[in-house]
Amino acid sequence: MTDQNQQPNDSDDEVKQTKSEHATRQTDDRQKRAQFEQEEQEYLARVKQSMIDDDLFEPITHEDMRGIIKEARKNHQSRSSGDGSQKPRFVLPRRYRLFAIVLALFMVIQAVALLATTFSIPVVDFLITSHELSNDPVIKEDKEAIVIVDTGTGRGTGFVVARDGYIITNAHVVDQETTVTIGLHDQSLLTGEVIEAMPAVDLALIKVDQTFDVVLPLSETVPTLDTPVHFIGNPLRFNRIANAGTFIEREGRSSLDTPVYYLDAPVYRGNSGSPVINENGAVEGIVYATRDDRTYGKVGLVIPASVAADVFQAYLSPDQQE
């Protein structure tokens, strides 16, 4: 009996709770609708005000505004959903177009000029010559002693002169740096310490923590005129390019504190520090510059290797140069 009397009471409570929740939802819905209508009216007022033009005022009805807002919202949703609609393109103002065209033409001309400089007929010739000379086993081995000297702002050529890691190049190549990056023939990189730099004779000595199997010893005699020689360097961003030449004259007038020699050979930027090697495998000179001579045309300027042997003798042990 007790259970039967309680059942109707439980049902009444559930009905009351349901009615209460329904009434609460209706109240919330009315409040939200009223708030939405108020916000919409405020938004319509702001949009309408922003569309008023003092000179071309035309009344806009409430329904017109609804249509405008609906269309604007639709466009906004379409852009947000990434439906592939195109974004407004940036158009360069006409007054800047001529400048842009001139700048583009200038860049094209510069690129063509660089290619013409790098791949001119003489340059192609020295690349062909280098390939032919590299078939010589002696020259091929000499290339292993040639290094790239890179300061970060420029680069030149150096060569290993002693097995315990001494390298010779020009003083202007190291450019007052105390350390430089050395690139070896196997493409490995080392940090080189500039031991001595002597601008008066444009020579520098670098030390790396490496032992070498192939070295290029210095000749203690002056270069021999009219005798074929070869030299190896890193001209025009090429690496270890071999070329042939001949010493043609001793030049007494020089900006250095030593006589220099003319080398009849294709010498280019990047050849600074290149060793000039005789038929016996000894370095007779170090390339440091070029000159346009009235008699011979463009020639390479070479410092005698005997000068390097003299100024660096305190560091170079004879047994390390063999």
The pLDDT of residue 239 is 92
Structure tokens at 118: 């790098």
Which residues are known catalytic residues?
172, 202, 272
Please state whether the predicted TM-score (pTM) of the whole model is above 0.75: no
Quote the Cα angle for 140-173-317, to 5°: 60
Write the pLDDT tens digit of every residue in 60-73. 555 665 666 666 66
The pLDDT of residue 96 is 62
263 vs 6, more confident: 263
Write the pLDDT tens digit of every residue in 190-228. 999 999 999 999 999 999 999 999 999 999 888 989 999
138's CB contacts (< 8 A; 6+ apart) are 281
DSSP 52: -
Count, residues in the chain: 322
Mean pLDDT of 167-178: 95
The pLDDT of residue 52 is 44
Q: What is the mean pLDDT of the chain?
A: 80
The pLDDT of residue 53 is 43
Q: What domains does the chain contain, in order, with CATH numbers?
A: 131-215 (2.40.10.10), 227-318 (2.40.10.10)
Residue 235 φ then ψ, to 5°? -80, 145
Residue 147 φ then ψ, to 5°? -125, 160
Q: What is Dmax (Cα atoms) for the chain?
A: 137
Dihedral angle sign, alpha carbons of residues 17, 20, 22, 25:
negative
DSSP 285: E
